[in-house]
């Protein structure tokens, strides 16, 4: 069974959380086992990241950058990978974010994850201005599904 990890930060209204849950829904409907973690609630132990086949990352726009909790994951990943890269790269990944009307986080968000060489990026980066509407939620479900299909094709 394909395993999808959805790592996101959500704190203010739950906007990014709603998007994360829609990604998870799409992946589950495509037959995946999904694990969701909100970096506002838990700091991920990078060892746990090794086991997932594919991943979706979500963040609110905080001052035109990603939230600190998700940035902490990226920093931890860089440091842990220096000693053992096994299972920490070559994962298809997707990105989603919410914002309050500015939304300038897109470029640094995409750049950071490109630099981190997580794996191949799947789909376009999904954006929500405030609370995600039904169109955005559907885009999130499709992303979840695409990530799972990509892994099925690998197998
Ligand atoms: C500390 C902080 C900084 C923010 N900075 C920005 C910003 O620079 N640009 C923007 O469009 N929205 C900004 N926002 C608004 C949030 O990105 C937006 O409300 C988001 O949907 C919150 O996501 P959440 O409900 O999942 O926490 C900021 C919010 C907070 C709390």
Which residue among 60, 68, 133 has the greatest number of ligand 1 atoms within 8 angstroms of its CB, and so is best to mutate?
Answer: 60
Q: Give the distance (Å) from ligand 1 centre to CA of residue 16.
A: 10
Which residue among 8, 15, 17, 99 has the greatest number of ligand 1 atoms within 8 angstroms of its CB, and so is best to mutate?
Answer: 99
The number of the ligand 1 atom at minimal distance from the alpha carbon of 19 is: 26
Ligand 1 neighbourhood includes 102 CB (under 6 angstroms) = yes
Q: What is the pLDDT of residues 23-82, one digit of tens each?
A: 999 999 999 999 999 999 999 999 999 999 999 999 999 999 999 999 999 999 999 999
pLDDT at site 155: 57
Domains of the chain: 3-154 (3.40.50.360)
Give the DSSP letter string of 54-119. Answer: EEEEEEE-BTTB--HHHHHHHHHHHHHHHH--TTSS---EEEEEEESS--TTHHHHHHHHHHTT-S
Nearest in space to 119 (alpha carbons), one of 60, 26, 49, 72:
49
pLDDT at site 153: 80
């Amino acid at each position: 069974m394909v395993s999808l990890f959805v790592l996101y930060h959500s704190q203010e209204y739950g906007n990014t959380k709603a998007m994360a849950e829609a990604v998870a829904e799409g992946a589950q409907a495509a037959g995946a086992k999904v694990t969701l973690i909100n970096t506002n609630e838990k700091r991920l132990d990078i060892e746990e990241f090794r086991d997932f086949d594919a991943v979706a990352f979500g963040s609110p726009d905080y001052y035109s950058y990603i939230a600190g909790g998700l940035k902490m994951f990226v920093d931890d990943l860089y440091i842990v990978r220096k000693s053992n890269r096994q299972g920490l790269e070559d994962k298809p990944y997707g990105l989603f974010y919410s914002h309050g009307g500015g939304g300038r986080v897109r470029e640094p968000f995409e750049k950071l994850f490109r630099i981190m060489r997580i794996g191949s990026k799947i789909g376009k980066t999904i954006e929500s201005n405030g609370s995600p509407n039904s169109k955005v939620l559907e885009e999130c479900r499709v992303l979840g599904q695409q990530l799972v299909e990509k892994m099925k094709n690998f197998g």
